Amino acid sequence: MVISLRKARTIIRKALEKGREMELKPLSVVVLDAGGHVIAFEREDGAAPGRFAIAHGKAYGSVMLGMAGTAQMQRAEGQAYFMAAVNGVYGGQVVPVPGGVLVRDRKGAVIGAVGVTGDTSDNDAQAALVGIEGAGLVGEI
Amino acid sequence: MVISLRKARTIIRKALEKGREMELKPLSVVVLDAGGHVIAFEREDGAAPGRFAIAHGKAYGSVMLGMAGTAQMQRAEGQAYFMAAVNGVYGGQVVPVPGGVLVRDRKGAVIGAVGVTGDTSDNDAQAALVGIEGAGLVGEI
Amino acid sequence: MVISLRKARTIIRKALEKGREMELKPLSVVVLDAGGHVIAFEREDGAAPGRFAIAHGKAYGSVMLGMAGTAQMQRAEGQAYFMAAVNGVYGGQVVPVPGGVLVRDRKGAVIGAVGVTGDTSDNDAQAALVGIEGAGLVGEI
Amino acid sequence: MVISLRKARTIIRKALEKGREMELKPLSVVVLDAGGHVIAFEREDGAAPGRFAIAHGKAYGSVMLGMAGTAQMQRAEGQAYFMAAVNGVYGGQVVPVPGGVLVRDRKGAVIGAVGVTGDTSDNDAQAALVGIEGAGLVGEI
């Protein structure tokens, strides 16, 4: 199973709606496929210009390691040099904090990841999760 | 004047509609702001996974140089080492062919760029232009 | 459909057998998935140490662009600066010559690529194709 | 003495068998030669896509420094900036944790390294060691 562009749009729309409902700062949302490649991205008006790279880094590390943002953060806090080294081998493309959320199909296979940035990491993750579930998929924060 | 997320969505939607109307291969479309930063991106189902980087490279060079894809291509054909050097200073992020289209406001100021990839470079540029004009903006191929 | 490790081993084994049958120089063979990530690789005894990167570059460009080695070579010969720019956006990871072979499932979808290096580009491509077909898959040189 | 492709295959096969026997998560195994160059690699079905880079980073640092993963980890824990600097000079290619295992011939000379990733670092190292010994070679965790 793959994330279609239609599903990716739904994820983004519902994550942004959740952000507005929670009155979060402007959000940016990226959806990656199972190989870590961008399907779709949107940055809300008023967000800082560099938000693509942050959203991407949260989602990219999740896909490449098969480990969502919360687990990456725990590893980074316990063994900082390991996540630094991981970032080296992935070309500096990993941002190991919540807001990187794995997307699984109904059998549990990873089919991609969503990265949200703009508010606190926990709020970012919450918006991502709502977007994923709104598209009928399963998220892992 | 800036390209709002709403305008960026319109550009992408209309460019993709044009691609379907022309029966082009699956397209990928990115919209960058006046600083060369991503506002929105979509990759159609069936497109190759690496299309974000190509679309981005077409639009990024356009914004950074203030020169659309056609002009960049002419420069690359006449003076290949110059465009190679430009790519050096921009970290290899420039793809100097049609499909990178400047977006101007009604006074002529560059407010961003659109990058389209997937079909021939000329068809990519045509879809981008239709998208930009469909959002009430002026494009320069 | 994905290329399983079992299928990848078959591709490599049969490509290497073909190389020995054709009395080619020592070959190196990589199999990538649909996201351009390594599933399996083998370098025959006597091959030069740097062969992983060449095999990988042939297969990686094929997956990322959705364009096999022969088509990439034609584009590079007709528009050298374009393939140079493509290499920039893909971090210098593309080797645009035959020996990068797309793998398609029976419906025509790209599910990965094989990269072979060691002999002439045409012989490399031939060995790759035999390996892919030996695993019951369809190759595009 | 060099690690032949035949020996490398044995190392990988026996490491993966050990992983299945210990009921570990899907493993990825790379075998490098005495120059730090890839001889063979396999990624089990179900492993995350980015596992090549992690396996490679564990083995690469081992060969380049002549220091196995456990010793690298001790150095990283005692002097983090040193391992960060080492990663700078090696292009970010070093992952200094267990699972990078030196391979020695019977006289004690380093002839390559094995990198395993997928489960805990200690289990990764255990599987690597069993693979190396199964090929009649001596491993240093």
> How far apart, in Å, are the Cα atoms of A48 and each of A28, A119, B32, B115?
9, 11, 13, 21
Say whether residue B86 is in contact with chain C using an 8 A CB cutoff.
no
Residue among C21, C49, C10 nearest D3 (CA): C49
What's the average model confidence in pLDDT over B107-130? 97
CB atoms near residue B58 (< 10 Å) = 33
Chain A residue with Cα closest to C91:
A91
Chains in contact with chain B (at least 3 beta-carbon pairs closer than 8 A): A, C
User: Using CA atoms, how far apart are residues B29 and B41, in angstroms rounded to an integer?
Assistant: 6
Say whether residue B54 is in contact with chain A using an 8 A CB cutoff.
no
pLDDT class of A1 with cuts at 50, 70, 90: confident
Chains B and D touch (3+ CB pairs under 8 A): no
Q: Using an 8 Å CB-CB cutoff, list chain C residues near D15.
A: none
What's the average model confidence in pLDDT over A55-79? 97
How much of chain B, in percent, has pLDDT values that exceed 90?
Answer: 98
User: Is the complex ipTM more than 0.85?
Assistant: yes
pLDDT score recorded for residue D106? 86
pLDDT score recorded for residue B106? 86
Q: Using an 8 Å CB-CB cutoff, list chain B residues near C79.
A: 97
User: Using CA atoms, how far apart are residues C117 and C43, in angstroms rounded to an integer?
Assistant: 9
Mutate to test the interface with C, among D6, D39, D63, D93 (most CBs of C within 10 A): D39
The residue extents of the domains of chain D are 5-140
Residue among D40, D55, D120, D36 nearest C5 (CA): D40
Asked if residue C68 lies in contact with residue C141, where contact means CB atoms within 8 angstroms, the answer is: yes
pLDDT tens, residue by residue, B43-99: 999 999 999 999 999 999 999 999 999 999 999 999 999 999 999 999 999 999 999
Chain D residue with Cα closest to A79:
D77
The SS3 assignment for B43 reads strand
Say whether residue C20 is in contact with chain D using an 8 A CB cutoff.
no
Report DSSP state, residue D136: T
Chain A residue with Cα closest to C36:
A35
pLDDT score recorded for residue C106? 86
Q: Chain C: nearest CA to D26, how far in angstroms?
A: 11
Q: Which residues contact B125 (CB under 8 A, 6 or more apart)?
A: B69, B70, B98, B99, B100, B101, B116, B141
Residue among D135, D128, D124 nearest D6 (CA): D135
Given this structure, which CATH class describes domain A5-140? alpha beta
pLDDT score recorded for residue A106? 86
HSE, side-chain direction, 13 A CA sphere, residue D119: 20
What's the average model confidence in pLDDT over C61-65? 98
pLDDT score recorded for residue A68? 98
Question: DSSP for D12-35?
Answer: HHHHHHHHHHTTPSP-EEEEEETT
pLDDT tens, residue by residue, D13-51: 999 999 999 999 999 999 999 999 999 999 999 999 999
Say whether residue B89 is in contact with chain A using an 8 A CB cutoff.
no
Q: Using an 8 Å CB-CB cutoff, list chain C residues near B96.
A: 81-82, 85
